[in-house]
Every structure is written in structure tokens, then in C-alpha cells.
Homo-oligomer: A and B are copies of this chain.
Amino acid sequence: MAILFDQYFPCDALVQMGKDFHHRGWMAGTAGNLSARDVAQPDSFWVTASGNPKGQLESTDFLRIAIDGGKVLETPLEENKPSAESSIHQVIYQLFPEARCCLHVHTVDACIASERCAAPMLPLPALEMLKGMGMWLQSPEVTLALFDNWLEVPRIAAEIEQRFSQQAPDISALMIRQHGLTVWGESLQQAYNRLEIMEYIMSYMARRD
């Protein structure tokens, strides 16, 4: 049976994803953060510590953070500091109790695909790939929620919380303009698969026009 990311300890799976995404150019510099809900204590999640290059992570480069309030609950290394972007992961786990994994990356394609759209929702092309986002429809009309990029990341998190608590997004993904995609899933494997799908769609949009 296919070896899924969920068969590993979450931080080990995220280390593998970090190498994979860095290799693809989706986590250049030290960009992005990867997180997974803790299985035993599902009111907390493990997230990459701030400032590490994501292609060179070890399984100790994570912190466990409380979904409610954001307190650091546990870390293998004292020097690990949470990234400001952890607040976005918190909001996702709060809003979507079924979310088990949340992946945030920075890609050129997603920045290009979204910059031409001034509206808060980016209409996506009716590609077959949308089935992988759960849209089993003929010619689906799906939008991706776009958010403005603020220096103060908690402001981005607050805007996500506000908009999504009023209206659920079409798909388990969002885009921060000139910044990057965030994708979540009900398993680590689903989050991984869906990030690939969203990047595929962003690449199509960036190159088609």
C-alpha cells in the first residue's frame, strides 16, 4: 500500500515535505511554515520554528502550540521560536476542526496568478484537477479567497478569521497576495496532495495569460 505521510510521526513527515517543497523552489530562503495537529492533544499543533532553511530541517525544529491562544506548549530545542505566521495556522485549525495539517509556501506562480485579480475572490479555471479539491462537478465555478499582505501577520490572520467565519471558502486553500498559498487537509497526505493541485492550477493561470 502506498506509504502515506500520515504513517510517520508528524514532524518527521513535515521534515520530508520541507525537503520536497524546498527542492521545488516553494520554500526559498527560509520561507513558509508547515504544521500538523497533534494526534494525542488535538487542541495543539506542531509547527516549524522560525528562521530555519526548510530544506535542511531536522525533526527537532518544531514547536507545539496551543490552537486557542497560541501559547508554546512544548519544544525539543529551547532556541526554537514560533514564526509570526503561526497565527495563520492557529486560525485555520480553529475554523476547521477537521483540518489535521496546514502548509504555507511562497511561490512565484501563485503570486503572478493572483496579482491580476483586484477582487477578493480569484475565479479558478474549470480544470479536471479541481476534483482533487473535492469539486466533483461538470465545469465547476470555484473561487480562491485572496487576502492582502500586512506586515503584521496577526492582522492577516484576523482577516482570514473574519471572512471565513462569515462564509466558508469553496476549497481548503487561500492566497495572501504577493506572499503565498496556504492549503490544509484532513490528513497530512491530503494537505500535501492539495498543495500540489493548487500549485498546478496557479502555474496554469500564471502561464496561460
A window 20-60: CB within 8 A of B: 25, 28-31, 52-53, 56-58, 60
- A166 CB–B CB distance under 8 Å: no
Chain B residues lying within 8 Å of A125, measured Cβ to Cβ, are 178
Size of A's binding interface in residues, CB under 8 A: 52
Partner of A31, one of B56, B77, B129: B129
Instruction: Say yes or no: A137-B151 contact (C-beta < 8 A), given A58-B2, A176-B128.
Output: yes
Distance to closest chain B CB from A81 (angstroms) = 13
Binding stretch for chain B, among A95-103, A157-165, A200-208: A200-208
Number of identical protomers: 4
Please give the residue numbers on chain A whose beta carbons come within 8 Å of chain B beta carbons, in ascending order. Answer: 1-4, 25, 28-31, 52-53, 56-58, 60-61, 77, 79, 106, 108, 111-112, 115, 125-129, 132, 136-138, 149-151, 176, 178-180, 189, 192-194, 196-197, 199-200, 203-204, 206-208
Instruction: Say yes or no: A129-B29 contact (C-beta < 8 A), given A204-B108, A204-B111.
Output: yes
Chain B residues lying within 8 Å of A112, measured Cβ to Cβ, are 204, 207-208
